[in-house]
Chain A
Amino acid sequence: MRPTRQIWAVGAIAGALAVLAAVFARPLLLAATVLLGAWILVRQLLFVRGVADTVDSLTVRQLPAANTVRANAEIPVTLEATLDAPARLLLSFEGGVPMGASAAAPLSTVLEPGTATTRETTTVSWPVAGRHRFNPVSVTATDGLFTATMPAESRPSVTVEPRGPHAVHVGRGGDEVSIAQGEHEAGQRGPGLEPAELREYVPGDSADEIDWKATARLNTLHVREYETETHRPTMLIVDHRGGLAAGPPGESKLAYLREVALAVAANARELDDPLGLIAVGDEGITTRITPTTGPAAYLSIRRRLLDLEPTGTDGDGNPPETAGRSHSVPGPAPSPTRPRTALSALEGSRDAFARTLEPYYAARTRYDVRFDSEPLLGAVRTALGGQDSRQWTVICTDDSDPETLYETVRFARARGSEVLLLLTPSVLFATDGVGDPDRVADSYLEFEELRRDLDRMDAVTAFEVAPQERLSAVLETTRSRSRGAIR
């Protein structure tokens, strides 16, 4: 509780009158000091009682429009104050926007004497991911003579999710599947821990393999066989050509494929499977790591996957026109994914700063092996050249070039490798066709046909990788269309 200037003025007058009383030897003036003191005291107590009653009937709420938002999103936040009955005070409210958020205008409002409700809305942006709790609302009450500031407990939380793939769908025609692998059967009998079969002894079997308990029970010589377990070499082939940049910032095809590739890598690490990586850019292979085990190798692959960014962007950092994508989703494009923009910006200046930074950006896309055409096919040829035929080849790419895709998969199959194909449907990452659900549904059905064709090939599994929400919306459109057709 603080006095305002008016109270200080009255107090000063009271004090001055007391001094004058002493100076002029006129005790009469002390009576004025007494009356003014009584006046101040009564107003002070009136203020305390009035504020206490007002606060008891006051409801203050901070109302964010959503409890979960994406990073850099903007949502309206409303500050609302309601009294049971109009107050005789002026109440000011200062919203407690969290540190990690920024409001376009101050989140504050005023409740004038004689009014019972007020609300103010402002736009708040959330650049920092995490869980943000609002600070208490600061309520300042004044009756013109005194001021008191107190907190009001209305502390909602807003969870800010980082930009990037969310609810990654991996599946077939909208049905989700798991790509996590269990332990692998070798399809052979031999030394192992898992019992496979009990059979009669045949000449040639080793005496060590005889199961004596079964022999005693069954009265004839029996041999117990075990399942042989093995480690399966896995080769991740990740396409990061320019076309994979399609999609909103941070939610590109490559971002989704990266998530799944990381999951495959983690699974391989868990099973201690040898894991390799080939990253394919527009002009050839940018990364080649042969299948190997060990924490350092997994870590290296994981780091490389996280570093991958689309190649072949033009000088302005935009993907080529052929990719047919545009970033219509609001929010700044993350600058680290646009190294060429930075590089072109540095070209203009020749100062020490630019000279120091240039090599770091210039060296971002270095090709290990260059191909004149069809880099994906070239990558698979490289991956399977002289490799173990049991190798599991995981190809992460999109559906932009079906012919090359068929050829690539056929080649892999011809070399005896099992293939897991993870495809991002371009239609679910394009932003120009959002307005026409029928066109989107048609495009998705075309993709689904391609995926099924590939999936039908022997020892080939083809899954779609897509944003769950977009896919659900498209599936809903296709279902409603088919219902309409039945009627």
Chain B
Amino acid sequence: MTDYPTGSYVESTFLTERPSPWSTALGAVALVATFGAAAGPPGVGAGIATALLWYGFGTPYAVAVGHVLLLALFPDGIDPISFVIVEAGLVTLLVVPVLRSRAPLRTATGTLLAVAGLGAVSWLAVVSLSLWQAAGVTAGAVALASYGAYRYGLVALGLVDDEPSSTTDE
């Protein structure tokens, strides 16, 4: 089975229709506004670039590039308030597409809960461990959660074999 081609725009077909103009505009404005509020005019430029990337390639690339641009905007480190503001803008990019799902409220809530949960684990790791360890814990938490979802999927789709496999030649 080959992967279903979705072009350069990375998104699930469950959220196939791209965000409507209104929600796209909302996401873009939120992003530019938060970047601008946190970093001034250069932030507006970075926000516009990230918004364009979001529109053309989807959320993951926008999130990744947006954070790299933030590194350039805040070479000496970002203060907590600016961090919260720009992250709020980026979380908007996660929430807007799921508004097109069949259960938008539930999916949006799930998205926020996932961000909150993984964010809490990461923050705890950063404040209590070395950065290398924190990076490992964050990546491990993502991998573990994803594996849990994978196992849940097997059960939900009935793909788990109930019969214990025989280990002897009978």
Contact = CB atoms under 8 A, between A and B. Distances in A.
Interface of A: 1, 4-6, 9-11, 13-15, 17-19, 21-22, 24-52, 55, 88-90, 92, 113, 140, 142-150
Interface string B54-72: 0000011101101110110
A90 B12 CA distance: 11
25 contacts: A1-B159, A9-B60, A10-B10, A10-B60, A11-B146, A18-B136, A18-B138, A31-B83, A33-B122, A33-B139, A34-B119, A35-B115, A36-B63, A36-B142, A41-B146, A45-B110, A46-B101, A48-B152, A51-B153, A51-B157, A52-B157, A55-B157, A144-B4, A144-B6, A144-B11
Contacts of A40: 142, 146
Contact of B139 (A15, A39, A149): A15
A29 B71 contact: yes
A89 B138 contact: no
Nearest to A33: B138
B9 to A, nearest CB: 9
A230 to B, nearest CB: 56
B94 interface: yes
Contact of B14 (A15, A21, A28, A46): A46
A41 B114 contact: yes
A43 B101 CA distance: 11
A6 B3 contact: yes
Contacts of A22: 131-132, 134-135
B98 to A, nearest CB: 7
Given A41-B142, A41-B145, A48-B156, 4 more contacts: A18-B135, A21-B134, A34-B118, A42-B114
Contacts of B78: 28
Contacts of B12: 43, 46-47, 143-146
Given A27-B126, A41-B145, A48 B4 contact: no
Nearest to B152: A48
B20 interface: no
B146 A29 contact: no
Contacts of B149: 41, 44-45, 48
Contacts, number: 190
A395 B167 CA distance: 62
Contacts of B156: 48-49, 52
Given A27-B134, A28-B74, A148 B10 contact: no
Nearest to B141: A37
A25 B159 contact: no
Given A13-B60, A42-B110, A44-B153, A29 B67 contact: yes
A148 B153 contact: yes
Given A148-B153, A148-B157, A37 B131 contact: no
A65 B81 CA distance: 70
- For A32, A88, A149, the residue with the greatest tally of chain B CB atoms inside 10 Å of its CB is A32
Contact of A30 (B10, B107, B126): B126
A306 B74 CA distance: 94
A86 to B, nearest CB: 11
Nearest to A19: B135
Contacts of A147: 1, 3-4
A34 B122 contact: yes
Interface string B4-25: 1110001111111000000000
A152 to B, nearest CB: 11
A310 to B, nearest CB: 50
Contacts of A144: 3-6, 11-13
A142 B59 contact: no
Interface in B11-43: 11-16
B105 interface: no
Interface string B87-110: 100110010001001000001001
Given A18-B138, A144-B4, A27 B158 contact: no
Contacts of A89: 13-14
B139 A14 contact: yes
Contacts of B74: 28
- For B10, B13, B77, B132, the residue with the greatest tally of chain A CB atoms inside 10 Å of its CB is B13
Contact of A37 (B59, B87, B118, B150): B118
Contacts of A48: 149, 152-153, 156-157
B11 to A, nearest CB: 7
Nearest to B151: A1
A36 B64 contact: yes
B154 interface: yes
A44 B33 CA distance: 30
Contacts of B68: 29
Contacts of B59: 39
A145 B97 CA distance: 15
Contacts of A5: 3
Contacts of A150: 157-159
- For B67, B118, B158, the residue with the greatest tally of chain A CB atoms inside 10 Å of its CB is B67
- For A4, A28, A146, the residue with the greatest tally of chain B CB atoms inside 10 Å of its CB is A28
